Structure 1
Amino acid sequence: MPRFEADEIALAYLDEGEGEPILLIHGFASNKEVNWQYPGWVDLLVKEGRRVIAIDNRGHGQSQKFHDPAAYGAPVMAEDARRLLDHLGIESADVMGYSMGARITAFLALNHPDRVRRAVFSGLGYGMVTGVGDPEPIAAALEAERLQDVSDRTGRAFRAFAEQTGSDRLALAACMRSSRQKITEADVTRISQPVLVAVGTKDDIAGSPQKLAALMPHADVLEIPGRDHMVAVGDKVHKQGVLAFLNNVDA
């Protein structure tokens, strides 16, 4: 698996296929394989004639881990994504992020608008502005000695997911405490690229996709029927809707 140095930090990524580039940015406690390869996104996009790049965010997957919250933050991870585009010599790409990855994508679009052609914010709606709850129960769940000791429902779900993916739980706890920077409504209105906001109809974490999309001049909503935050990523409707958005030459 290829790696590169971003600001003296080792980050892993994949780079498959040929054609118009799309950068995929995974969600919290996930990685490029769990978020994008296993659900079939990489194969699907390669078959659609795309060059698919997916990064392991710092603290995740095969990238370097830190146990200090100061090492994280969505704007910091957006710079990692920008450095990966620099490393690969890609001037501009479509960018799709899931959950935390959507927040990172938004910061990338705001801070480097010339690098993002289109954006897909999946698994995150108006929670991008309001925040998506207190990070401390999730961080505490990740630090708990045993899963059985965790009573918070959301924390327990993320702890179980971290165990399933073999993640560094202390790195994830540090990331959780610093990665949820809110973006103001005023800043969201400055995202001028075409955007698709894709959220499951049973997602009680993301916040309203309609309310977020209404802030941007060129945004559409994709509702993923019957799917919650943990399972919407690989849904067929999700994939079909994203492909339609990416293939809309007028967008």
Structure 2
Amino acid sequence: MTEFPAARARVEAGPAAVPPRTATLVVDDGTVIAHHHWDPDPGTDPNPVPVVLHHGFAADTLVDWAGRGTVAALTAAGRTVVGVDARGHGMSRKSPDPARYGEPRMARDLRAVIAALDVPAVDLVGYSMGAIVALLTAAEEPAVRRLVVGGVGAGVVEVGGVDTRVLPNDLLAAALPAEDPGALPPGVAGMRAFAEALGADLPSLAAQARVVHQGGIDLAAITAPTLVVAGDDDPLAARPHVLADAIPGARLHVVPGDHGTAGGDPAFQAAIVDFLRG
């Protein structure tokens, strides 16, 4: 079993973003979805296309994007930023019912938030679970102008979603509510420890783990220019060139770090800012 020794690094703070404006949206099944908004920094040349961010499993917008410096990097580049908390995560509504989860369901939530922004185009960025949500969204949503996905690799093509060969979803679903996390395989125990460190809702996370998407994604349908960003020591983003090759015209950028640290590396943020600048 692969270990994730840097899982807790995703809790560490990066360059601070100013506090966001937070709003909620009630989607079609009654779930409340929270989304956080930041304006461009004063004195910058504002870009009219907002950047929409979707975080990874067990995290939320404030942990994955604001706390690790990506929001600050984008607002310093003149971007309006909108971060969406997935159902069961962050400030969005929780439920222990697996029928309310899955990345396709999260993609519908994301599209509802994009529609509510009432803008002609958005740039979309997703990490890990959020990368799967972003890919599913970009395959169907014409408003996506540019797309960045991180923390995923060949597993998207070969498994159909986050690489469950590395982090088995059945073990993860069992681990999250387990009374004795010390008895768990190291990689799964690390993810459980990460969730606990954040105070995440473990029953909701277990429900999502039970229905993690493995149904494939129509990558050929993605028409937005796409950047795949992967840490050079990330087992969940192994062989990222396989994913980049499967998306028409996609580029690949490799940065230092594993699954827990790559997203906080300045090279990761610089790659996003530069690519979205176009």
TM-score by length of 1: 0.93
Q: Corresponding residue for 1:209?
A: 240
Q: Corresponding residue for 1:102?
A: 131
Match of 1:189, SS state, is: helix
Q: Corresponding residue for 2:206?
A: 173
Q: Corresponding residue for 2:24?
A: 3
Q: What is the letter of the counterpart of residue 177 of structure 1?
A: R
Contact 2:157/2:246, CA 8 A, preserved across alignment: no
Q: What is the letter of the counterpart of residue 39 of structure 2?
A: G
Structure 1's 121 and 182: CA in aligned 2 closer, same or farther, altered over 3 A?
farther
Q: After the TM superposition, which residues 9-28 of structure 1 pair with which residues of structure 2 at under 5 Å, given as runs?
A: 9-18=31-40, 19=47, 20-28=49-57
Residue ranges of structure 1 left out of the alignment (5+ in a row): none
CA distance in 2 between counterparts of 1:154 and 1:95 reads 29
CA distance in 2 between counterparts of 1:122 and 1:108 reads 15
Contact 1:17/1:46, CA 8 A, preserved across alignment: yes
Q: Corresponding residue for 1:120?
A: 148
Match of 1:44, SS state, is: helix
CA distance in 1 between counterparts of 2:68 and 2:173 reads 26
Q: Quick check: 1:189 aligned with 2:220?
A: yes
CA distance in 2 between counterparts of 1:108 and 1:178 reads 18
Of 52, 58, 75, the match for 2:104? 75
Per chain length, whose mean CA-contact separation is higher, i.e. which structure has more relative contact order (CA < 8 Å, sep 6+)?
2
Contact 1:100/1:180, CA 8 A, preserved across alignment: no
CA distance in 1 between counterparts of 2:186 and 2:215 reads 23
Q: Corresponding residue for 2:81?
A: 52
Match of 1:167, SS state, is: coil
Q: CA deviation at 1:16?
A: 1.0
TM-score by length of 2: 0.84
Of 66, 80, 94, the match for 1:65? 94
CA distance in 2 between counterparts of 1:189 and 1:85 reads 22
CA distance in 1 between counterparts of 2:104 and 2:156 reads 13
Q: What is the letter of the counterpart of residue 191 of structure 2?
A: F
Single out whichever of 168-177 and 236-245 deviates more from structure 2: 236-245
What do the CA deviations read for 1:171-220 (whole angstroms, capped 9, x no partner)? 00100111323425xx2122121100001111111232111111122200
CA distance in 1 between counterparts of 2:120 and 2:25 reads 17
What do the CA deviations read for 1:153-173 (whole angstroms, capped 9, x no partner)? 221111011001100101001
Single out whichever of 200-209 and 77-86 deviates more from structure 2: 200-209
Aligned sequence identity (%): 37
Contact 1:95/1:118, CA 8 A, preserved across alignment: yes
Q: Corresponding residue for 1:229?
A: 259
Match of 1:95, SS state, is: strand
Match of 1:143, SS state, is: coil
CA distance in 2 between counterparts of 1:182 and 1:214 reads 19
User: Which 4+ runs in 1 deviate beyond 4 A?
Assistant: none
CA distance in 2 between counterparts of 1:39 and 1:214 reads 29
Residue ranges of structure 2 left out of the alignment (5+ in a row): 1-21, 41-46
Contact 2:104/2:213, CA 8 A, preserved across alignment: no
CA distance in 2 between counterparts of 1:14 and 1:146 reads 35
Match of 1:2, SS state, is: strand
Q: Quick check: 1:220 aligned with 2:248?
A: no
Q: CA deviation at 1:74?
A: 0.9
Q: What is the letter of the counterpart of residue 126 of structure 2?
A: G
CA distance in 2 between counterparts of 1:182 and 1:170 reads 23
Q: Corresponding residue for 2:9?
A: none
Of 43, 46, 71, the match for 1:42? 71
Q: After the TM superposition, which residues 140-151 of structure 1 pair with which residues of structure 2 at under 5 Å, given as runs?
A: 140-150=174-184
CA distance in 2 between counterparts of 1:235 and 1:110 reads 28
CA distance in 2 between counterparts of 1:214 and 1:196 reads 11
Contact 2:145/2:224, CA 8 A, preserved across alignment: yes
Q: CA deviation at 1:129?
A: 2.1
